[in-house]
Chains A and B, each alone.
Chain A
């Protein structure tokens, strides 16, 4: 049972345009969400997070939106750059007494120059 889903395995975007990566979750106990970026042969690196008390968090070119009623979050990258080409994972954690992250399957973003 996949509690965190990224339904688009890949996405291609022109340099300078907006990249929108989507993530859905099923567990209403999740209250903290994160996006990680992964380059080949490296571990994931933290990008941005959002708590369930917010619906938006911004950090430079990266913005995460959370729609709790739809159990959906999205990552917007504006403007997209070739260096953003990587696999993006969303992850979630809850308040059930454990601090593990539940990851989605990832979306491979390719930014075309």
Chain B
């Protein structure tokens, strides 16, 4: 079956613009995670959902970052008033269940460049 897909794959934004990044998880997966990966670093946790409920948003770096998953499927990560430090690859992952032992399947990521 289809894996996790993300769109767009590449996004260039001018500083101050708003962006929206989309994640389509594996069908039926209840958990969805967002990570930010800066160049040369490992993925850093941003937030996760169980169905439509956002259970942990402790990793969101500022109130400019907002994530939603209104119907418990597709998720959107929105960044308002982008700054250069937001340049990174944004990874989405989904899992069939929430809990240890349930693998997180990652999408290919969206590379955001803020100029």
Interface size on A, residues (CB 8 A): 25
Known A-B contacts A89-B42, A103-B42, A105-B41; the reply to A46 vs B56 at CB < 8 A is: no
Q: What chain A residues lie within 8 Å of B99 (beta carbons)?
A: 99
Contact of B45 among A36, A49, A100 (CB under 8 A): A100
A101 and B107 contact, Cβ closer than 8 Å, known pairs A32-B101, A43-B91, A43-B93: no
**Interface size band for B:** 20 to 34
Tell me if A93 counts as interface (CB < 8 A to partner B). Answer: yes
With beta carbons under 8 angstroms apart, the residue of A4, A41, A91, A105 that contacts B108 is A41
A45 at the A/B interface (Cβ < 8 Å)? yes
Asked whether any CB of chain B lies closer than 8 Å to the CB of A44, the reply is yes
Cβ of B112: which chain A residues have Cβ within 8 Å of it?
A: none
Closest beta carbon of chain B to A50's beta carbon, Å: 11
> Does B44 interact with chain A (Cβ within 8 Å)?
yes
For the complex, give the distance between the alpha carbons of A19 and B76 in Å.
39
